[in-house]
A and B are shown apart, each in its own frame.
Chain A
C-alpha cells in the first residue's frame, strides 16, 4: 500500500513539473502545455513511484519501458526525467533550441532515457506492443508502459495495435489514455467521437480500468490491478483536464500548442506555488 507521504511526494513533483512545463514552453516560445499538464499526475506517479528505472543507467537491463505515444507532451516527460535525475533541471531551458537533446518531440538518439522517438501520433502503441512481445519472447519480467492522447486514438494504427496486443496476450503492457476530451480543432466529440473508448478496448480484448487521472491513489491502484492481470493488456482510461492545475488554462483549446504569456506565467506560478505550499504542509 502506498503511504500518505508517498502520495504527497508524488503530488509535490506534479507541482514542480507543471511549473517546469510552463516555464520551458514560455522560454521556447512554442510547445504544447495543455496536453502536458493533463498527463502530469500520471507521469509523476510513474517516474516518482512506479517505474523501475535508473537515471544513472538509462539502458539498465531490468528497467520498465516507457513510451510517450503523444510525443507533443514531451515537456511533461522531460520535466519528470530532469527531476528524477536523468539530466540537470537547468537543461530544461534548452527545450526546442538548436542542438538540444530536448527536441520538440522526443528523440531517442539525442536524449538517453527516451525509449522511443515519437511525435507522429498513432505509432506509439505498435512500438509498445513490439517491445512487449520481445520481452515475452525473451522470458523477461520487465513491463511496458505508455501514454496515448484521446484524439490520438482516432488513428487507425492504434486499433491495429490494440488488436495485436490482445492477440499476443501482452499482459506486460499497460497504457494510459489521457482522456482530456480535447484535440486541436475542438473537442473529440465534435471532431471525431471516440466514445465509448473503454468499451471499444474491451471488445478488442483488453482489461479496461477507468479512473480520475488526477487522483494519485486511483492511478496507483489501477497500476496495481494492471500488474495482477496475467492474460490481457491493460488500458487505463484516465479522465483528465487539459491544462490541469492552472485555472485559466483548464479546458482551454488555445493552450494546446501555445505557451502562456509572461503575465499569465506569473499568475500560474503563484497558483502552483500555493498548491505546492499546501502539499508540503502535509508531508
Chain B
C-alpha cells in the first residue's frame, strides 16, 4: 500500500508557513474552514482570517477588495460552491482586474462521495479554465499541493487550485520533488503510448503503466498539474514520440484536461486521443471508491483506454 496524505492537509499546513513568513497573507473561507483546513491558519493568525459565512460570492468579492489593497489573498471553500456560485465574481472582480486572489478549493470531483451530486464539482476545471488570466492547477498528491500553494503565493495574479476531500496516494518524494510552475513533467518514459493525467488519476496512471509493462506495452506518464497554462512543448514532444494519447481526469470530459490536451494536439500534432473522465453526467451518493469504479476512473479503466487508443494508432 502506498503512503496516503491529504492535499487539503498540506494546503492548510503550507498556508500556516506562508502566514508566518509573510504578514501580507490573508485567508478567507465560507463556513467550511474545518473541511478546507484553512482552520489551521485561522488558529495561527486569527486577525488575518476572515469568515464570510455561507456567502461564496461575497467571499470572492471581499477577497478582491483585500487584494486590491495589496494583500495576498487565499479564498477557500468546496470546489462546487466557490467556482460555481461565485463564477462571475471570479471573472469580473478577480481575473478581469488581475488581482492577487488564490482560489484554493477542496472537495473537488466525484470522490466527495456520499454528499452526492450537488456537492461534486465535475465542471470546475472547465469553468475556471475559460476565464482569461486565470491559472488552473491540480496537484497529483499532497507533496505537490504544498509546493504549488507556495508557488502561487509567490506569483502575482489569480489562481485556481483544485484539491480533494480524501487522502490520496503519494506520487512524489518530499525531498526530491521540485514543482515548476507551468511545466508538465514526464514521470515515466515509454514510447508506445502516453497517459496524460491530472490529480488523483496520476497515481492510477503509473499503476496502469506498470501493469501494461507486463504485456510489453511501453507507456509514458505525464503529470499535467498545470492545466492552464498548459505545457504545449512537453505535450507535443510526448505526442510526437508516442503517437497515441490517453487523458485521465476526475472531471467531466467536456472542457477539462482532455479538452485542453486536445486543443493543443489537434493544432500541432494530431494523434489519436482517448479521454477518460466523467462522461458528461451528474454524480451521485456513494462511497468514493464505488463511484470511481462506476465511472471507470481506475487502473483498469485507464488500461482499457490505452488498448483502445493503441488500436487507433
Residues of chain A whose beta carbon lies under 8 Å from any beta carbon of chain B: 28-31, 71, 96-100, 102-105, 107, 117-122, 151-152, 154-156, 183-186, 188, 191-192
Contacts and interface: CB of A to CB of B under 8 A. Distances in A.
Given A152-B54, A156-B55, A105 B116 contact: yes
A192 B53 contact: yes
Interface stretch (B25-33, B172-180, B236-244): B25-33
A30 B58 CA distance: 29
Contact of B32 (A99, A185, A188): A185
Tell me if A's interface is mostly helix, strand, loop or mixed: loop
B291 A191 contact: no
Nearest to A100: B285
Nearest to B291: A98
Interface residues of B, number: 32
Contacts of B189: none
A191 B51 contact: yes
B291 A183 contact: no
Interface string B98-120: 00000000000000011111110
Interface in B108-145: 113-119
B294 interface: yes
Contact of A183 (B53, B58, B118, B285): B53
B114 A96 contact: yes
Given A152-B54, A185-B51, A192-B55, A96 B32 contact: no
Nearest to A106: B118
A107 B55 CA distance: 23
A151 B53 contact: yes
B313 interface: no
The 5 nearest A-B residue pairs measured at CB: A192-B53, A119-B118, A98-B286, A154-B53, A104-B116
A120 B285 contact: no
B94 to A, nearest CB: 17
B34 interface: yes
Interface string B21-63: 0000000010111110001000000000001111101100000
B116 to A, nearest CB: 4
Contact of A191 (B53, B80, B284): B53
Contact of A30 (B55, B114, B117, B284): B114
A108 to B, nearest CB: 12
Nearest to B118: A119
17 contacts: A29-B114, A96-B116, A96-B285, A98-B290, A98-B291, A102-B285, A104-B116, A104-B285, A117-B118, A120-B85, A122-B54, A152-B54, A154-B54, A155-B55, A185-B31, A185-B34, A192-B51
A30 to B, nearest CB: 4
B105 to A, nearest CB: 14
Contacts of B74: none
B55 A105 contact: no
Contact of A107 (B81, B114, B117, B287): B117
A184 B32 contact: yes
Contacts, number: 96
Given A120-B80, A122-B54, A191-B51, A105 B32 contact: no
Given A100-B285, A188-B53, A192-B55, 4 more contacts: A97-B285, A104-B114, A107-B117, A154-B55
Contacts of A188: 53
B285 A121 contact: no
Given A120-B80, A191-B31, A105 B54 contact: no
Interface string B8-26: 0000000000000000000
A184 B286 CA distance: 23
A84 B34 CA distance: 36
B119 to A, nearest CB: 6
B114 A151 contact: no
Contacts of A184: 31-32, 34-35
Contact of A98 (B34, B39, B284): B284
Given A156-B58, A191-B51, A98 B294 contact: yes
A151 B54 contact: yes
A101 to B, nearest CB: 10
Residue of B35, B52, B53, B287 with most partner-chain A CB within 10 A:
B53
B115 A105 contact: yes
Contacts of A185: 29, 31-34, 39, 51
Contacts of A100: 285
Contacts of B284: 98-99, 103, 107
A29 to B, nearest CB: 8
A184 B287 CA distance: 23
Contacts of B294: 98
A135 to B, nearest CB: 25
Contacts of A118: 118
